[in-house]
Amino acid sequence: MTTFDLNFAADHFTLFGLPQVQALDQESLDNAFRAVQSRVHPDKHAHASEADQRLAMQWATRINEAYQTLKSPGRRARYLLQLLGHDARIESNTAMPAEFLMSQMELREAVEEARSAADEDALDAVRGRLLDEIKADYERLAGLIDVTRDLDAAADLVRQLMFQEKLLNEVDDALEAVTA
Amino acid sequence: MALLQIAEPGESAAPHEHRLAVGIDLGTTNTLVATVRSGMSVVLNDVQGRSLLPSVVAYAADGSVDVGYGAEARQSIDPKNTIVSVKRFMGRGRHDIAHIETLPYDFIDAEGMVKLKTIAGIKSPVEISAEILKTVRNRAEASLGGELTGAVITVPAYFDDAQRQATKDAARLAGINVLRLLNEPTAAAIAYGLDNSAEGIYAVFDLGGGTFDISILRLSKGVFEVMATGGDSALGGDDFDHRVFCWIIEQAKLAPLSLQDARRLQMRAREAKEQLSQHGQAPITVKLGSGEYVDLVLTTEVFTEISRTLVQKTIAPTKKALRDAGLTVADVRGVVMVGGSTRLPQIQHAVAELFKQEPLNNLDPEKVVALGAAIQANLLAGNRAAGDDWLLLDVIPLSLGLETMGGLVEKVIPRNSTIPIARAQEFTTFKDGQTAMSIQVVQGERELVSDCRSLARFELRGIPPMVAGAARIRVTFQVAADGLLSVTAREQTSGREARIEVKPAYGLSDDEIATMLKDSFSHAGDDAFRRALREAQVEAQRLIEATQSALEDDAALLSTLERAQIDAAMAQLQSAMVGDDRRAIDQAMQALSAATNEFAARRMNQSVQRALAGRKVDQLSL
């Protein structure tokens, strides 16, 4: 189990003064992050006592964690569902629509083939297709969470996204093996 | 103390004397030192007007040490005691060092990091690097006319924790106060970005004498955000020289060489490589110790052919860094070339071809890292001018993990996470009554512990005896803004806490460093003592001033009792300051810091609130 050993009570959205929505304005997030991080970052406290430097580091760590979570739409959705008290049952619920599983299997086979053929272009093509799908899913997530408030459907989609993100990692590993 | 000195954006801190701070680029081949003078970052030259200091250290039988050009000239005369490219040995064991069999040194395989047997005794790479750092520290102090407040030392972005620790230890040994370690490509990005008011995605391609880094950065409104970094901490100009060296041996069908001849040929190989960048061919004529002559001509075609795989070795990490950043070459606005080896036309071509654009060569690739480091050092030392308010956000280059059952690695912090970052992990006991457990921290991307670098192995002791699985031990990994790791552990059910410093696995303990420092101070005699005392007095004065100014602004955040405690601690420090007992000053400073801890935390919270209160997105400035 991985958790964060920090005592700052506010949730990530509140920390940045942003509304708890999935369709977060990227620029507002970036700006709020920079404004807060510019205050707390250890480089701004290079002269501080050791205790103060630790404090600055803790804050900077907290701000980085919040930013990284909110920046990625997938992680943001998982976090937001948690905040909204909706358990996405990521570990326990493994039911997936057959159609989705089929397309995943297809992609996986394409990756395997390209990997054994050391075909960089084919891997790039799969990567591009996967990125497009992920992007479309991100947009659907915003609708499901913010507009229709269909949190069950959102949780299903979050689980699918985790599959896709994992597959993307595998494509990256394959690309690394092929280009090394 | 600076936590107590929270300046509003755009407002400059109170005027004070200019503090002497430098940036040091401790390179494989050359070392440079730079500072900010009248708002301009400049490289500091030696008395002969030379900016580079060859990173070469020569030891003599009488214990004297020569660093730089003098040492460089000795390398073919006394190769065994003249250490070149020591950076390649920092934080490295024997099996990590490429072509170790061709190196002329007597290596001793100490735990975690090799040592070298020289005529002046056994030296660790940390001590050898410290000699180089001492030389540039003296150069800087002579040139600036005073003692340094501190320095920013650059390291390859792809350096792991052991290599970073070793570099920091070397600086401490050289008597340098390290303000921060800074990644070389990030330093270059500061120099380039501030110079050109660059905005957007940039790649910094840094090929030095012994290391290769690629960093992808987003430059935006004074924030230098590293999105991903990659590289090879054992790939650089040295390897290109080595290919030429091997080619010479093969072509001239040479028998095994003496150490002197080998060193001579290696130097000639490097010169020939450098000549090729300007001319189409380079003659190689060397007279060997046996009287035999080597007479060859190296052409660009041959060099391109023998170095092809090396060039390719820079491309794969570059593509990987782009993927890690979630970007393609089309997103990259410019590619900044850093490091002497980027002068090679073969590298220029390969980079232009990959990024589909001409790389940027408008800064001196050899100086840009030191110049950027100086700018950051100036800021950290507190010499900030209006508008000097940028922020560096770097990443950890290699994943951190823990050994789990069966020699597998569980990743705790993935590579390219923005730092500072912390992660906690819970462990439990697997036997009834177990009171200790061993934890191994590793760094690297592979799944097996044996394929990663072991950073530290430590024992957690004093776990209260319980049935198996009942103890809950929470281990927290914290990576600081300059990439250095620390670990703390706490037994949750009893609340017992242990702070574990991740000691570098090469086993240079704090005690050893203290002894080495004492040895070097014993030559300096009372100077060192007076210097330390004066430093403590200056620090104490600063702490008092900062506390006073914080009290003027925010005394309302304190209760009467808290205020009285701070006042008492301040009075204590003021009386300790006039004496010459450094320990008493240190203790009084610690007491005052402790008394103001909570106050600083409240001010920090208030500052964060203010940063967000009533702002509009387009009005936000840094």
How many other CB atoms are found less than 10 A from the CB of residue B253?
6
| CB contact at 8 A, A56 and A42 | yes
| CB-based contact B604 A57, cutoff 8 Å | no
Phi-psi region of B474 (alpha: psi -120 to 50; beta: other; left: phi over 0): beta
How many other CB atoms are found less than 10 A from the CB of residue A9?
7
| CB contact at 8 A, B228 and B324 | yes
Average pLDDT, chain A: 86
Q: Is A140 found in the same domain as A67? A: no
Q: What is the DSSP string of B235-284?
A: -SHHHHHHHHHHHHHHHHTPPSPPHHHHHHHHHHHHHHHHHHTTSSEEEE
| CB-based contact B420 A2, cutoff 8 Å | no
Show the domain range for B569.
525-612
Question: What confidence score (pLDDT) does residue B514 get?
Answer: 57
- Residue B11 appears among annotated catalytic residues: no
| CB-based contact B418 A64, cutoff 8 Å | yes
Q: Is A25 helix (H, G, I), strand (E, B) or coil?
A: coil
Q: Is A87 helix (H, G, I), strand (E, B) or coil?
A: coil
Give B378 to chain A, closest Cα distance, Å. 11
Q: Which of residues 118-177 of A touch B (CB under 8 A)?
A: 172, 175-176
Which chain B residue has its CA at the smallest distance from A13's CA?
B612
Q: Which of B46, B66, B72, B87 is flagged as catalytic?
A: B87
Percent composition of chain A: helix, strand, coil (DSSP 3-state, to 5): 75, 0, 25
| Closest by Cα among B270, B265, B261 to B29 | B270
Q: Is A170 found in the same domain as A105? A: yes
CA B192, B197, B203: angle at the middle one, nearest 5? 45
Which chain A residue has its CA at the smallest distance from B604's CA?
A40
**pLDDT beneath 50: ranges in chain B:** 1-15, 507-508, 520-525, 614-622
Q: Is B57 found in the same domain as B102? A: yes
Q: Is A160 found in the same domain as A119? A: yes
Q: Is B224 helix (H, G, I), strand (E, B) or coil?
A: strand
B258, HSE (Cβ side, Cα atoms, 13 Å): 13
Asked which of B464, B486, B510 is the last residue of a domain, the reply is B510
Chain A contact for B499 (CB, 8 A cutoff): no
Q: Is the dihedral of CA A37, A43, A44, A50 positive or negative?
A: positive
Chain A contact for B316 (CB, 8 A cutoff): yes
Q: Is the pLDDT of residue A4 over 60?
A: no
| Closest by Cα among B80, B132, B126 to B107 | B80
User: Is B583 a domain residue?
Assistant: yes
Specify the residue for token string 């130097």.
Answer: B267
Q: Is A104 found in the same domain as A59? A: no
User: Is A76 a domain residue?
Assistant: no
Question: What confidence score (pLDDT) does residue A6 get?
Answer: 35
Query: A103 — phi, psi (to 5°)?
Result: -70, -35
| CB-based contact A17 B422, cutoff 8 Å | no
- Its ipTM equals 0.84
Specify the residue for token string 């037994």.
Answer: B491
Q: Which two tokens stand for residue B63?
A: 């214990």
Give B272 to chain A, closest Cα distance, Å. 29
Chain B contact for A46 (CB, 8 A cutoff): yes
Show the domain range for A67.
12-71
| CB contact at 8 A, B5 and B345 | no
Query: B256 — phi, psi (to 5°)?
Result: -50, 140
Q: Is B423 found in the same domain as B377? A: no
Q: Is B371 found in the same domain as B262? A: no
A125, HSE (Cβ side, Cα atoms, 13 Å): 10
Q: What is the CA radius of gyration of chain A?
A: 20
- Residue B87 appears among annotated catalytic residues: yes
Instruction: Pick from B4, B612, B622 the residue to mutate for testing the A interface (most A CBs within 10 Å).
Output: B612
Q: Is B425 found in the same domain as B489? A: yes
DSSP state of B3: G
Q: Is A153 found in the same domain as A109? A: yes
Q: Which of B46, B184, B232, B403 is flagged as catalytic?
A: B184
% of residues, chain A, pLDDT over 90 = 51
Chain B contact for A95 (CB, 8 A cutoff): no
Q: Is A111 found in the same domain as A62? A: no
Q: Which two tokens stand for residue B590?
A: 């610690």
Q: Is B73 found in the same domain as B166? A: yes
The CA-atom distances, in angstroms, between B55 and each of B142, B184, B579 are 20, 16, 42
Q: Is the pLDDT of residue A107 over 80?
A: yes
| CB-based contact A61 B597, cutoff 8 Å | no
| CB contact at 8 A, B241 and B273 | yes
Q: Is A101 helix (H, G, I), strand (E, B) or coil?
A: helix
% of residues, chain A, pLDDT over 70 = 91
How many domains is chain A built from?
Answer: 2
Question: What confidence score (pLDDT) does residue B621 get?
Answer: 37
- For range A67-72, the mean pLDDT: 93
CATH number of domain containing B447: 2.60.34.10
Question: What confidence score (pLDDT) does residue B527 get?
Answer: 54
Question: What confidence score (pLDDT) does residue B496 get?
Answer: 65
| CB-based contact A61 B320, cutoff 8 Å | no
Q: What is the DSSP string of A104-138?
A: HHHHHHHHHHHHHTT-HHHHHHHHHHHHHHHHHHH
Q: Is A59 found in the same domain as A123? A: no
Residues of A within 8 A of B389 (CB-CB) are: 38
H-only helix segments in B555-581: 560-578
How far apart are the C-alpha atoms of B427 and B439, rounded to whole Å? 10
User: Is B210 a domain residue?
Assistant: yes
Q: Is A169 found in the same domain as A108? A: yes
Q: Is B249 found in the same domain as B229? A: no
Question: What confidence score (pLDDT) does residue A3 get?
Answer: 27
Strand partners, A3: B424
Count H helices, E strands: chain A? 7, 1
User: Is B15 a domain residue?
Assistant: no
Element (H, E) at B172: helix B161-173
A4, A37, A176: residue with CB nearest B424: A4
Q: Is B193 helix (H, G, I), strand (E, B) or coil?
A: helix
| CB-based contact A60 B320, cutoff 8 Å | no
DSSP state of B71: H
Q: Which of B160, B206, B261, B403 is flagged as catalytic?
A: B206
How far apart are the C-alpha atoms of B608 and B592, rounded to whole Å? 24
Give burial (CB, 10 Å; 0-12/13-18/19+) of B38: exposed
The beta strands (E) that lie in B18-94 are given as 21-26, 30-37, 40-43, 53-54, 56-59, 65-67, 82-84
The beta strands (E) that lie in chain A are given as 2-3
| CB contact at 8 A, B259 and B80 | yes
How many domains is chain B built from?
Answer: 4
Chain B contact for A71 (CB, 8 A cutoff): no
How far apart are the C-alpha atoms of B158 and B178, rounded to whole Å? 19
Long-range contacts of B240-243 (CB under 8 A, 24+ apart): B240/B273, B240/B307, B240/B310, B240/B341, B240/B344, B241/B266, B241/B269, B241/B270, B241/B273, B242/B99, B242/B102, B242/B266, B242/B269, B243/B306, B243/B307, B243/B310
A30, A51, A172: residue with CB nearest B594: A51
User: Is A3 a domain residue?
Assistant: no
Element (H, E) at B422: strand B421-427
Q: Is B382 found in the same domain as B420? A: no
- Residue B287 appears among annotated catalytic residues: no
Query: A111 — phi, psi (to 5°)?
Result: -65, -45
Instruction: Pick from B396, B415, B418 the residue to mutate for testing the A interface (most A CBs within 10 Å).
Output: B418
Phi-psi region of B462 (alpha: psi -120 to 50; beta: other; left: phi over 0): left
User: Is A43 a domain residue?
Assistant: yes
How far apart are the C-alpha atoms of B31 and A146, rounded to whole Å? 56
CATH number of domain containing A165: 1.20.1280.20
User: Is B619 a domain residue?
Assistant: no
Please give the model's pTM, rounded to 2 decimal places: 0.83
B526-554 vs B510-524: helix axis angle to the nearest 10? 120
How far apart are the C-alpha atoms of B33 and B139, rounded to whole Å? 8
Strand partners, B67: B57
Q: Which two tokens stand for residue B238?
A: 């040295």
Q: Is B184 found in the same domain as B110? A: yes
User: Is A92 a domain residue?
Assistant: no
CA B184, B187, B191: angle at the middle one, nearest 5? 140
Q: Is B327 helix (H, G, I), strand (E, B) or coil?
A: coil
Question: What confidence score (pLDDT) does residue B528 get?
Answer: 57
- Residue B206 appears among annotated catalytic residues: yes
| CB-based contact A5 B421, cutoff 8 Å | no
